[in-house]
Amino acid sequence: TRKLPISARPDTFSYRASTFVRRHRAAVLATALTLLALMAGIVTTWHLARAADVARDRAERRFNDVRSLANTLLFDLHDAIRDLPGATPARRLLVANARIYLDSLLRESAGDASLQAELAEAYLRVGEIEGDPHFPNLGDLDAATASYRESVRLHTELAAIHPEDAGVRQALAVSLGRLAVVQSWGGANIDAIASSTRALTILDSLSGIAPQNTTIRLDIGRIQSELGWWLIWAGRVAEGLAQLDLADEILEDAVRRHPDHIGLGIDRWRAVSYRVDGLTWSDAKAEALELLARDGCPLLANLDRRFPNHPRILSSFKACVYKLGNLYIDFGQTEAGIDALRRSLALAEDLARSDSTNIQGLRGIAIVHEALGSVYRSLGETDLALGHFQEALTLKKTLFALDPDHAEAGNTLANTQRSLCTFFYDAGQPARALAYCQDALERLRGTVAQDPGNAIGRESLATTYVETARVHAALSREVGAGDRARHHRDAAIQFYDRALDEMGRLSSAEFSRSISPDSVAAERDTFVR
């Protein structure tokens, strides 16, 4: 049958619909299935959208939680323990955990300017803890350099996006200044000069726009003093001292206005310390001694009275007393010099005792032992001298092993090795002396190759060549004749020539040399004859 509607039944909608379905069953079924599928899709899509919203909300809450935790770790907790004695283990734990959060946040930071700004500041704090020598740190200079570079990169991106934002540009300058510090200590003094110069260019432009902005002025003073120091290390002493003149005018005024501000006091102390070394190396030691006694140590003693047991103040005060002791000895005030050095050693030991994993404290002990060894050697107190030199050598080897790419650690280790070479040479034991001179040369050649613009490092290398030549000359006399004597004689002449060649490279350096090229040339000629 055709199943058409009949007139015997009422003509209702349901009757007509059922009849239509029976006549077109396949088409209606297909349509119904399509509608069901569409509805299921709509329902599923709605559920998925709702789940996505929930997941997105959950992810956003988690992201904000991570961001909040990173901020708490690196801003609140960091600031709370920055100057806390004995806090190095806490710093290590802080860095380990903060790194996890920072790496997570960095992957999500693209396009989020406020997050990038937070991360840039956070990397500054991490770098400070990892290995910035201006703060209590973990001794990892490479990690600090990487963190400061990341901060510079992020600040540079923000400055490109917001070139008119003075705060962003100032933050970039500060991060460049921090990078310069670890670059110089890590054996990249030329790079440090470039980073500091770039930072000062930015800050000078901001100062012209906002001459009354105190923080910009203080950043200029601090970074300018550091640039002065890098220039002095490059042998450009007059240029470096001129930068320090400009910096000290700013920092001295700031300390006068804020005598209880620890950071300003330490910044001013560093400027004084840099000047003292520049004056010492340019043979203006009387002026250096006066500056320390008048401005340097009293400034820190005043801070110490206000803030007893503060690690950064004690570390700076230890350095000031150490420099004072060396200058007393240079002026023949040996007893006063030894007293000052022993006081400096006691301060360094107190710092290390309160925080045995703090690199600053260990480095301070090693440096003072080295100085005491030199004093006692000059007094003929050989047992005392050797004891201090060996203490210094043990500590410096430990510090160097922790960070073998750290140029300053390599330089200071080489200084002690050279001191022991000289000690055994003076004691008539040239064979024992030679091993120490060879070790010192290995260290110094590496650091000079790494940082050829470091004139002070080149001066140390030249002096070590001379010491090594003298040892070979003594060995040639000791063994008498034959092949061994000729070997040591040829080696002595070779090292004298290398010393003179290195000194020739330093002809433009503006500091007083420990050995003059003329005296080395005369010594060589006497030996050859």
| Residue 514 pLDDT level (bands cut at 50, 70, 90) | confident
> Is 60 exceeded by the pLDDT of residue 11?
no
Q: What number is the average pLDDT over the span 206-230?
A: 91
Distance CA 39, CA 45 (A): 10
> Is 60 exceeded by the pLDDT of residue 264?
yes
- Residues 437, 419 contacting (CB under 8 angstroms): no
In angstroms and rounded to an integer, the radius of gyration of the C-alpha atoms of the chain is: 35
Percent of the chain with pLDDT over 90: 53
Q: Whole-angstrom distance between the N-terminal and C-terminal Cα of the chain?
A: 137
User: Residue 313 CB: number of other CB atoms within 10 A?
Assistant: 23
> Is 80 exceeded by the pLDDT of residue 227?
yes
What φ, ψ does residue 468 adopt, rounded to 5°? -65, -40
Weakest-pLDDT range from 5-9, 177-181, 439-443, 452-456: 5-9
> Is 70 exceeded by the pLDDT of residue 336?
yes
Distances in Å between the Cα of 365 and the Cα atoms of 133, 255, 390 are 15, 29, 12
The type of residue at 458 is R
pLDDT score of 210: 77
Question: Which of 13-22, 64-73, 86-95, 331-340 has the largest mean confidence?
Answer: 331-340
pLDDT score of 59: 46
What φ, ψ does residue 394 adopt, rounded to 5°? -60, -45
pLDDT score of 294: 92
Percent of the chain with pLDDT over 70: 80
Q: What number is the average pLDDT over the span 408-433?
A: 93
> Is 90 exceeded by the pLDDT of residue 277?
yes
Q: Using the structure block, give the residue that is written with the tokens 């190759």.
A: 449
Angle at 290 between CA 287 and CA 292, to 5 degrees: 110
Best CA proximity match to 405, nearest among 436, 362, 449:
449
Which letter does DSSP use for residue 235 in this model? T
Convert the pLDDT of each residue in 90-143 to its tens digit.
767 777 767 776 777 777 766 678 888 888 888 898 888 888 888 878 878 888
Q: How many CA atoms lie within 13 A of 93 on its CB side?
A: 6
pLDDT score of 259: 87
Q: 3-state DSSP call for residue 283?
A: coil
Helix (H) or strand (E) holding 62: helix 25-71
In whole numbers, what is the pLDDT of the chain averaged over residues? 84
Q: What number is the average pLDDT over the span 476-502?
A: 92
Sign of the alpha-carbon dihedral angle for 276, 310, 304, 396: negative
Residues in the chain: 529
Distance CA 286, CA 387 (A): 31
Convert the pLDDT of each residue in 65-78 to its tens digit.
555 555 565 556 65
pLDDT score of 116: 84
Q: What number is the average pLDDT over the span 489-502?
A: 95
Q: What number is the average pLDDT over the span 159-167?
A: 92
> Is 60 exceeded by the pLDDT of residue 255?
yes
Q: Is the model more confident about 508 or about 267?
A: 267
| Residue 155 pLDDT level (bands cut at 50, 70, 90) | very high
Q: What number is the average pLDDT over the span 41-61?
A: 53
Distance CA 425, CA 423 (A): 5
What φ, ψ does residue 85 adopt, rounded to 5°? -60, 140
Convert the pLDDT of each residue in 36-46 to its tens digit.
555 555 555 55
Structure tokens at 315: 């570390």
| Residue 309 pLDDT level (bands cut at 50, 70, 90) | confident
Q: What number is the average pLDDT over the span 157-162?
A: 92
Weakest-pLDDT range from 49-58, 186-195, 264-273, 276-285: 49-58
pLDDT score of 49: 52
Q: What number is the average pLDDT over the span 346-362?
A: 78
Distance CA 233, CA 477 (A): 38
Distances in Å between the Cα of 462 and the Cα atoms of 38, 206, 504 are 86, 43, 10
pLDDT score of 4: 47
pLDDT score of 54: 52
pLDDT score of 25: 61
Distance CA 228, CA 247 (A): 9
Q: Is 223 left (phi over 0), alpha (psi -120 to 50) or beta?
A: alpha
